[in-house]
Each structure stands twice: as C-alpha cells, then as structure tokens.
C-alpha cells in the first residue's frame, strides 16, 4: 500500500496488476486480492486495480502503460527485480522500470511473515491495512 500511495502521487494514473498464476497457490484468489486492494485504495482516485495472467509487459501494453513501478524492501528484492526489469526491457524496449524503496517502517514486512503470524493468531495491527485484517484472520479460523 505504501508503494501504491506514493506512486499514485507521481503518476497521473496508476494501474495495479494482480498476477493470477496457476503455478502458485496464494492465500487468496486473484479476484479476492483485487477486491482487497480496491478496498484499501478507494481513497486514491487515480488508481485502478486489475488481474492478469501471462507477461507483465503484455498487461502493461493492454493498459497503455509505459512505466512499470516495482517496490523494493531489501537488496534481495533488488537483485530479483533488476533481473525481471532487464527481461521486461528485452521483451519490450519501450518499457521503463521505476524502483521505489518502501518506507523503512514497512521494510521488514513480507506476506510470508504476515501469514505465519496470522497462523498463530497474532495481532496484525500495523502490518496490514485495518480494512483487511478480519479477512485475513478468517482464513486462519
């Protein structure tokens, strides 16, 4: 959410792409993730949230986007995202990737950590938006 809010101030329109990847089994379906992101970004008038399958550059093209914004927490994130940015550039040289560092107060938060904490019925306050805490907790009842 930090990256979405900050990127929405930089760009006139921001499209958040939620990957629907058949090879992964996320906690929530792509449709549910879209619903939750829309809920926590409803105060941002220039943000659109949509799901996609396949390549990110193809999704970006379908949305007439020219810049891909990626959030980074750690050096490990950068190493992976840098490789992906190079691949995306090779696939379509017209696209630029902009990296945004997350606010340091969120740099330790990962989806794995949130899932583990929720699995132990820990307090998620301050780790995820308050609007979706109950939805996450319901998955672990």
Residues 119-135: tens digit of each pLDDT: 999 999 999 999 999 99
pTM listed for this prediction: 0.88
The Cα 139–Cα 119 span in angstroms is: 9
Cβ neighbour number for residue 103 with a 10 Å cutoff: 13
- Give the pLDDT mean for 19-27: 81
pLDDT at 21 over 90: no
**Neighbouring residues of 7: CB distance < 8 A, sequence distance ≥ 6:** 14, 69, 98, 100
Q: Which of 25, 5, 10, 24 is nearest to 96 (CA)?
A: 10
- Is the predicted pLDDT of residue 23 greater than 80, yes or no? no
State the first-to-last Cα distance of the chain, in angstroms, to the nearest integer.
25
The residues, any chain, with a CB within 8 Å of residue 24's CB and separated by 6 or more, are none
Task: Outline which parts of the chain fall under CATH 3.40.50.620.
Answer: 2-103
- State the Cα–Cα distance between residues 76 and 56, nearest whole angstrom: 20
pLDDT greater at residue 96 or residue 141: 96
Q: Above 80 in pLDDT, residue 89? A: yes
- CATH code for the domain defined by 2-103: 3.40.50.620
């Amino acid at each position: 959410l930090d990256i979405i809010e900050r990127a929405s101030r930089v760009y006139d329109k921001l499209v958040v792409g939620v990957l629907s990847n058949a090879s992964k089994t996320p906690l929530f379906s792509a449709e549910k993730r879209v619903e939750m992101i829309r809920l926590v970004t409803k105060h941002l008038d220039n943000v659109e949230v949509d799901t996609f399958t396949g390549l990110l550059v193809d999704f970006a093209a379908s949305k007439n986007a020219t810049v891909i914004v990626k959030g980074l927490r750690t050096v490990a994130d950068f190493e992976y995202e840098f490789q992906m940015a190079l691949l995306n550039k090779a696939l379509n040289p017209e696209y630029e990737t902009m990296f945004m560092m997350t606010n340091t107060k969120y740099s330790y938060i990962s989806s794995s950590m949130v899932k583990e904490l929720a699995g132990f019925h820990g307090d998620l306050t301050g780790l995820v938006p308050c609007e979706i805490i109950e939805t996450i907790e319901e998955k672990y009842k």
